Amino acid sequence: MCPHPIRQVIESCDSAISAKDFDSLMQHYAEDAALVVKPGMVVKGKNNIRKAFIAIADYFQGELVVEQGEMQVIEGAGNALVIMETLLHFLDEQGDSVETTRRATYVFRQEPDGRWLCTIDNSYGTSLLDSDA
């Protein structure tokens, strides 16, 4: 079975983040897209998302490695909802190696030329509700 074309888009984004190639990264976002930086903090628009990714890269000092696990894509009415297991490897403040798994939710929109652009990037998935408690 062929993987969904969005899987390739997400892999390109991960490579761009690792390479700090934010120009390539931003090609996959819609102009007025939203990024959940952390629970309670959402930035909107490509310029702000770009700045947030630079800040995240600085915070992790280039030690953040992202690996994608299981993925499901549900397409409807020109949108796609992606449910994805994401493994993060990084060093904590003590310099110890940390591995954590998130279940991310991403929304994409298909353009007239067939490309998929990310409209909402929420790597926290439904765990956003935890912070409401």
Asked if 50 interacts with a second copy (CB under 8 A), we say: no
Stretch that binds a second copy, among 50-58, 60-68, 79-87, 92-100 (CB under 8 A): 79-87
Asked if 123 interacts with a second copy (CB under 8 A), we say: no
Minimum separation from the CB atom of position 91 to a second copy (A)? 27
Do 90 and 64 contact (CB within 8 A), yes or no? yes
- Interface residue with a second copy among 1, 2, 23, 76 (CB under 8 A) is 76
Asked if 87 interacts with a second copy (CB under 8 A), we say: no
- Interface residue with a second copy among 13, 17, 66, 120 (CB under 8 A) is 120
Could you tell me which residues come within 8 angstroms of residue 118 by beta carbon, excluding any fewer than 6 positions away?
9, 13, 28, 29, 30, 33, 106, 107, 108
Strand 79-91: give its sheet, edge to edge.
Answer: 41-44, 29-38, 116-122, 97-110, 79-91, 65-76
- Interface residue with a second copy among 2, 61, 70, 97 (CB under 8 A) is 70
Residues that bind a second copy (CB under 8 A): 30-36, 42, 44, 70, 72, 74-81, 83-85, 103, 105, 107, 109, 117, 119-122, 125-126, 128-129, 132
